[in-house]
Every structure is written in C-alpha cells, then in structure tokens.
C-alpha cells in the first residue's frame, strides 16, 4: 500500500473515530455537531496554524543578508524541485532540529535551529532542508494540521462525554458508552495521528533524497540529530508537546523506539532505508558527495553577528533578541 493510500485510510479512520464519538455522545445530532465543530477548528487551523507553530517555538524570519548560507541552500533545493521559495526561519535553540509549516507550497516556511546550523555540515543541512521541502511539496503540513485538530476535538468530546454522556440517555448503556468514549476515544485518535505522522516522515525522507539527489546527506544528518536530541533539551517543544510531530526528529526526551506511541519512525530504520536507496541509485556509501559538486559554488561567509561565533552563530550563546531569536 502506497504512502498516500495509507494516509487516506488513516485520515478516514480518524474521521470515523471523531464521528463515532459524536454519535455516542448525542446520537445523529451529536455526530452532526461534532462535524460542525471539526469544520470550524480546521478552518481556523488552515489559516493560522503556521503562525502559531512558529511563534510557540520562537522562530524568527531571516533574510539572505542575515543567513546567506541557509538561504542559498534552500534556494538551490527549491530550484532543483521546481518549487516556490518558502520563507526561512531560525530558532535560537541548541538542539539540532528543523520543521516545515504552511498551508500550501505557495505559503510555506522552513525553520532550522541554531543547533542544526552549528552542528551539521552543509551537506547534512541540505539533506534536512530537502526533507522539510518534501513535506511542503507533499502538503504534509496541512495533513498534520488536520489530524492534530481532529485529535484535539476528539479529546474535547471525550471530556464532554464524562459530564453529559450519561445524562443524554436514561439508561446504563448510555453511561457505559460515555465512559468508553472518554477512555478509548483519545487513545484511538492518538494512535491514528501517530501512524499518519510516521507514514509521512518516511515519505518525506524519500522525497527529500529525490530533491537533493543525495540520500546519504539526510542519513548522516539523522544519525547526528537523533543522538543530540536526547542529550540537548528543547524547552519550547517540552512546553508544547502536541506540536512535537512537526520536527524532523522527536524533540522530546522520550524513547526512540519505533513503538506504538512514537510520533516519529525509529531513526535507525529511516537511515537504513536511505542507505538502501543510495545503493539502489549507485551512490558510493563510504563518504558524502561534497555540496559543491552537486550544486556548485563556494561557501558564503555570513556577516558577523554580535554574540555569535562561527559561520552560523553559537548555539551556546545566551538567548537574545534579533534575527536569531
């Protein structure tokens, strides 16, 4: 089953759980009310989710003058993929990570942490940005917004069920159904949401490899990011765990196994798939092809930034206002 078909099936399952929750809570009328609530929430999320995610993680938009190297990498990749140029953001965060957001390719943004920019090579940064651009091209950002919104709505309905479900029917069956909804509904929604997230991550890994033409760039970055993410905390992500699924690797301090409740595929599985893809494409597996041999040009030295050292700035520098956060 292809990734798009799996995603469609999982989205249908999410919708079925939501409509079923509404029905158990209030019969046919409850199902219709649930549908109306979901529609309003999704409409709001469609127009505002990108701004909300960027704001909660302290992302600051940067132009080519402030981040010429990052801008050039993104520009090279979008030209390769025949995509519109997204807005580029940087988060002043020591954990190496990145995400994409936006309702469509024409209204998209990619965001990278200063930890990613300082810890990774140009090739690895390009691999990560290509992965995020694949999410944009596949419209995964919209899909994940819809699933997160419906999952939140199911949780809300489950709460209502505890207070109103038993009273909506004058029999023991209504009370039992309300209790089951309160327990099973959020768990089922979370499982479907996580399954969709894992499916889209695998698809974006392959799409990113196609955009950059170098699967090993992303494979090398994933190995580095996964290890660092468990050592370097991400306070913003810990404060907003519901948005953890947007990052390329799990920003939370949790087990990295490919388990039932994991929002991300196991990094080892992802790296293995990328290395297999590189072999199928006939790429040498012992080293990374230099960025210049693929896209040409030399590295651009960005202007000096007060309080930052190195080509990208120092991830260990104190947090400050300005183009980096």
| C-alpha–C-alpha distance, residues 252 and 239, integer Å | 10
Q: Which residue has the tokens 């006939």?
A: 282
Long-range CB contacts (< 8 A, 24+ apart) of 290-293? 290/123, 291/73, 291/122, 291/123, 291/126
Catalytic residue among 123, 124, 132, 201: 132
Q: Is residue 273 within 8 Å of residue 218, measured between CB atoms?
A: no
SS3 247: strand
Measured N-to-C along each axis, helices 215-229 and 267-280 cross at an angle, to the nearest 10 degrees, of 170
Query: Any catalytic annotation for residue 132?
Result: yes
Q: Which DSSP symbol is given to 31?
A: H
Closest CA to 311 of 27, 45, 4, 69: 69
Output the CA torsion sign for 319, 322, 323, 325: positive
- Contact residues for 103 (Cβ-Cβ < 8 A; gap 6+): 46, 47, 49, 50, 141, 142, 145
Q: Is residue 141 within 8 Å of residue 100, measured between CB atoms?
A: yes
Q: Is residue 24 within 8 Å of residue 161, measured between CB atoms?
A: yes
18 token code pair: 């939501």
Q: Is residue 57 within 8 Å of residue 325, measured between CB atoms?
A: no
Q: Which residue numbers are catalytic?
A: 132
């Amino acid at each position: 089953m292809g990734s798009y078909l799996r995603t469609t099936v999982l989205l249908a399952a999410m919708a079925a759980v939501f409509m079923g929750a509404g029905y158990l809570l209030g019969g046919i009328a409850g199902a219709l009310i649930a549908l109306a609530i979901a529609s309003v929430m999704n409409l709001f999320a469609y127009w505002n989710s990108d701004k909300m995610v960027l704001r909660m993680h302290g992302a600051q938009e940067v132009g080519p003058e402030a981040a010429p190297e990052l801008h050039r990498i993104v520009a090279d990749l979008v030209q390769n993929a025949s995509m519109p140029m997204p807005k580029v953001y940087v988060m002043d965060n020591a954990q190496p990570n990145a995400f994409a957001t936006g309702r469509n390719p024409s209204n998209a943004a990619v965001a990278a942490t200063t930890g990613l920019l300082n810890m990774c090579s140009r090739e690895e940064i390009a691999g990560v940005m290509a992965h995020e651009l694949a999410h944009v091209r596949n419209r995964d950002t919209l899909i994940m917004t819809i699933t997160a919104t419906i999952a939140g709505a199911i949780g809300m309905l489950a709460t209502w069920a505890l207070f109103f479900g038993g009273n909506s029917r004058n029999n023991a069956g209504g009370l039992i159904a309300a209790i089951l909804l309160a327990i099973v509904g959020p768990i089922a929604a979370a499982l479907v949401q996580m399954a969709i997230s894992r499916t889209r991550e695998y698809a974006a890994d392959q799409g990113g490899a196609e955009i950059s033409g170098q699967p090993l760039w992303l494979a090398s970055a994933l190995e580095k990011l996964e290890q660092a993410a468990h050592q370097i905390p991400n306070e913003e992500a810990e404060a907003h765990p519901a948005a953890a699924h947007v990052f390329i690797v799990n920003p939370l301090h949790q087990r990295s196994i490919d388990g039932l409740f994991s929002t991300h595929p196991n990094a080892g599985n992802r790296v293995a798939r990328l290395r297999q893809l590189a072999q199928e494409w006939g790429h040498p597996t012992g080293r990374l092809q230099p960025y210049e041999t693929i896209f040409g040009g030399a590295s651009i030295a960005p202007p000096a930034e007060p309080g930052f050292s190195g080509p990208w700035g120092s991830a260990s520098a104190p947090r400050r206002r300005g183009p980096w956060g």
